């Protein structure tokens, strides 16, 4: 395997790219806080090196002041951007902000080197090279999340030093500058290796996290994933409904469809054909739920046994057509259960929508909507199975979702006839 191929992400890991970009940018800022603390005393040490040029040149004094201001600005950015400015901006925007601040410091250093070079003694220039090695060592560690940042940082200030040495050589510094060049090249290679190790560590973490959030038998998401995903998604939807009510967003804010379904007579399949056949049915059903009958934004969750939940993002109100399409696709499929034997399997499905009440989006939580979908599933079972039943908001305004749920559980027919809720079949 070549060196360049080590930096390619495996095709199966490309699904983690959004999370990887976010993690690397977050790591940039985390390391940037520590590096900024070191840069403040280091900049004072630079003043000791540049002191003779500082007193002799107004341009050097101005550039040194700009450098201090750039270091202070970068320190503020690494503290404020992740905490206050990262909620709406994506990783690319934060990446560019960090890169811009790093280039500002690097450009200031390069300008300071060019302006002070003719005014410094060989001893001061030798100390400056030592200072550069220290700064590059800190930069290699703090920029490990992005080799691009490290290269953008070292090239201007180090390049200016080497160009000046070539154009205006000073006795005794050639060897020292060559050692600095070799040292920085070694640091550049090390930064690539450190970055590779950091990136692979993040990818392994994502892989382990995904294993913890997936069902081992079917490969679908599990209930733990649902509990982690839904709070953020429903909060985003409620914000969209709030903006729409204020006339600031789209007139049709997104709706979340929640569907609960299980296989009809699944115990009979296990009893007649064995648990291996039941597992095969569950695995093939999971494959069906990964086909174009649902969109890429939708996902299915196996809750245990033969019970599943489907989350349909940006769906219609109510998702009647989607529910029927899924049910008909499963009913038409022939499930392979071994030894060339096939089975026709049906399931019953209940669904509801979040927000439950469009007039008051925050009235019912997503857990309550899921419970209503679960009650709709039982309604489908009572009505003969192999059917989909939806329950959504009726014509009468809902005042107490908890009381309505308790009533729906004890007497579903009466609760559905009083106008608070309505069914779809």
* pLDDT of amino acid 88: 59
Mean pLDDT of 90-107: 87
Alpha carbon distance 425, 419 (integer Å): 17
Write down the mean pLDDT value for the chain.
82
pLDDT for 185 beyond 60: yes
Burial classification of residue 168, based on how many CB atoms lie within 10 Å of its CB (0-12 exposed, 13-18 middle, 19 or more buried) = exposed
Q: 208: which residues sit within 8 A by CB, 6+ positions away?
A: none
- More confidently predicted of 214 and 417: 214
Q: 198: closest CA among 209, 188, 210, 190? A: 190
Question: What value, to the nearest 5°, has the Cα angle with vertex 290 and ends 317 and 311?
Answer: 30
Please name the helix (run of DSSP H) or strand (run of DSSP E) that holds residue 136, with its range, or none. Answer: helix 122-142
Alpha carbon distance 128, 137 (integer Å): 14
CB atoms < 10 A from the CB of 234, how many?
19
* pLDDT of amino acid 301: 87
Q: Which of the four pLDDT bands, split at 50, 70 and 90, describes residue 417?
A: low
Mean pLDDT of 383-389: 84
* pLDDT of amino acid 59: 92
> Is 313 strand, coil or helix?
strand
Using alpha carbons, list the distances in angstroms from residue 218 to 214, 246, 289, 330, 336.
8, 43, 11, 16, 15
The H-assigned helical ranges of 213-358 are 223-245, 266-273, 275-288, 320-332
Alpha carbon distance 354, 253 (integer Å): 11
pLDDT for 402 beyond 80: no
Mean pLDDT of 370-381: 87
Q: Of all residues in the chain, what percent carry a pLDDT higher than 70?
A: 91
pLDDT tens figures, 52-65: 888 889 998 999 88
pLDDT for 424 beyond 80: no
Alpha carbon distance 313, 332 (integer Å): 25
- For residues 387-408, one letter each, b for 16 or more C-beta atoms within 10 angstroms of the residue's C-beta and e for the rest, the string is bbbbbbbbeeebeebeebbebb
Alpha carbon distance 332, 346 (integer Å): 9
* pLDDT of amino acid 58: 92
Map out the domains of the chain as residue ranges: 4-212, 221-424
pLDDT tens figures, 216-267: 888 888 888 888 888 888 888 888 888 888 777 676 788 888 888 888 888 8
The token pair that represents 137 in the structure block: 């060592």
Alpha carbon distance 52, 32 (integer Å): 31
The bridge status of strand 256-263 relative to strand 388-393 is unpaired
* Dihedral angle over CA of 164, 124, 156, 169, nearest 10: 10
Alpha carbon distance 152, 321 (integer Å): 54
CB atoms < 10 A from the CB of 260, how many?
25
* pLDDT of amino acid 62: 92
pLDDT tens figures, 196-209: 889 889 888 888 88
Alpha carbon distance 34, 138 (integer Å): 10
Alpha carbon distance 267, 271 (integer Å): 6
Q: Of all residues in the chain, what percent carry a pLDDT higher than 90?
A: 1
DSSP 82: I
* pLDDT of amino acid 289: 81
Let me know: does 333 contact 326? Beta carbons within 8 Å.
no
Q: 88: which residues sit within 8 A by CB, 6+ positions away?
A: none
Q: Does domain 221-424 have CATH number 3.30.70.270?
A: yes
Least confident of 18-32, 165-179, 251-265, 364-378: 165-179
pLDDT for 1 beyond 50: no
Alpha carbon distance 305, 263 (integer Å): 10
Mean pLDDT of 388-392: 82
* pLDDT of amino acid 33: 83
Q: Which of the four pLDDT bands, split at 50, 70 and 90, describes residue 122?
A: confident
- More confidently predicted of 143 and 415: 143
Let me know: does 355 contact 241? Beta carbons within 8 Å.
yes
* pLDDT of amino acid 422: 66
pLDDT tens figures, 123-167: 888 888 888 888 888 888 888 888 888 888 888 878 887 788 777
DSSP 214: B
Chain-centroid distance of CA 90 in Å reads: 9
Q: Which residues pair with 392 in a beta bridge?
A: 422
> Is 311 strand, coil or helix?
strand
Q: 318: closest CA among 351, 292, 289? A: 351
Mean pLDDT of 284-295: 78
């Amino acid at each position: 395997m070549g060196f360049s191929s080590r930096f390619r992400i495996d095709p199966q890991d490309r699904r983690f790219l959004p999370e990887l970009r976010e993690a690397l940018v977050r790591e940039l800022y985390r390391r940037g806080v520590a590096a900024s603390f070191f840069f403040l005393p280091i900049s004072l040490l630079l003043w000791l090196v540049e002191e003779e040029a500082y007193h002799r040149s107004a341009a050097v004094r101005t550039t040194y002041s700009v450098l201090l201001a750039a270091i202070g600005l970068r320190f503020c950015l690494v503290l404020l951007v992740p905490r206050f400015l990262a909620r709406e901006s994506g990783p690319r925007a934060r990446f560019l902000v960090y890169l811009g601040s790093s280039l500002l410091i690097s450009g200031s250093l390069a300008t300071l080197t060019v302006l002070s070079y003719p005014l410094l003694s060989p001893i001061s220039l030798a100390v400056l090279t030592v200072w550069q090695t220290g700064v590059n060592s800190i930069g290699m560690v703090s920029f490990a999340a992005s080799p691009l940042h490290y290269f953008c940082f070292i090239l201007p200030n180090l390049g200016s030093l080497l160009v000046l040495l070539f154009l205006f050589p000073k006795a005794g510094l050639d060897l020292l500058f060559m050692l600095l060049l070799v040292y920085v090249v070694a640091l550049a290679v090390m930064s690539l290796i450190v970055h590779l190790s950091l990136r692979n560590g993040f990818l392994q973490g994502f892989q382990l996290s995904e294993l913890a959030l997936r069902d081992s038998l079917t490969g679908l998401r599990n209930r733990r994933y649902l509990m982690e995903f839904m709070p953020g998604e429903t909060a985003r939807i409620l914000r969209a409904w709030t903006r729409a009510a204020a006339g600031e967003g789209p007139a049709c804010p997104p709706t979340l469809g929640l569907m609960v379904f299980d296989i009809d007579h699944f115990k009979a399949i296990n009893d007649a054909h064995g648990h291996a056949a039941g597992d095969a049915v569950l695995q093939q059903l999971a494959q069906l739920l990964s086909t174009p009958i649902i969109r890429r934004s939708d996902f299915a969750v196996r809750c245990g046994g033969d019970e599943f939940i489907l989350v349909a993002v940006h769906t219609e109100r109510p998702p009647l057509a989607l529910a029927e399409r899924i049910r008909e696709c499963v009913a038409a499929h022939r499930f392979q259960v071994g030894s060339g034997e096939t089975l026709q399997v049906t399931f019953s499905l209940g669904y509801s929508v979040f927000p439950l009440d469009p007039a008051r989006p925050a009235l019912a939580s997503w857990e309550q909507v899921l419970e209503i979908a679960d009650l709709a599933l039982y309604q489908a079972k009572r009505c003969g199975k192999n059917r989909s039943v939806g329950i959504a908001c009726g014509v009468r305004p809902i005042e107490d979702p908890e009381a309505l749920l308790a009533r729906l559980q004890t007497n579903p027919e009466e609760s559905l006839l009083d106008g608070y809720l309505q069914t779809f079949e």
